Amino acid sequence: MNKEKPFEHKEPWEGVDESKFYPKKSSIGGFLAEGEKLKDVIVADRKVCEQLEIKSKEIGEKIAELLKRAMQEQGHKVPAVVDDFEISWTSWRGMQNCPFDGSYADFSNLDFIITNRKTGESFSGPGLIAHLLKEHDFFEGHTSYRVDPEQAVKVLFEKEIKKGDVK
């Protein structure tokens, strides 16, 4: 009789070498600020997303879709206009590998700014964030490359967020 193991859910921080997320390890700026814990950052951002009634994966998918369309439809003309968004980016020579799985994801060689042309709201981040959100629920720690979940939702989905909405 074949005894298959039931699917075991693995949290993004399980089995990961957290030390490579800090500055000057996998990247100069790091993915976590000194003293931050990967689990704490992911759990806190999940709570924010829950309160906003969205999943980080949806945010990552929207970022990836906009970046892909901007490059396909506009060539490499910067800024590109896609629907109600203006997308600017800077491409770098090297690609940043994912600190979780070591992969080189799409857009990991660029930094972007996405502006909602209707609201004027914008946010910026590294191209790798699309993968980090879709696959690992990770907005980054409190570093210069962090994508704030509230601001991303406000820009991408035009959700009005008032002070006190998110605790």
Question: Which tens digits make up the pLDDT trace of 5-22?
Answer: 555 668 889 988 999 998
Task: For the chain, give every domain's residue range.
Answer: 38-157
Q: Judging by beta carbons within 10 Å of its beta carbon (0-12, 13-18, 19+), is residue 2 exposed, middle or buried?
A: exposed
Q: What is the mean pLDDT of the chain?
A: 88
> 21-70, pLDDT tens digit by residue?
988 887 878 899 999 999 999 999 999 999 999 999 999 999 999 999 99
| pLDDT number for residue 73 | 79
Residue type, 15: G
Rounded Cα–Cα distance for residues 81 and 144 (Å): 25
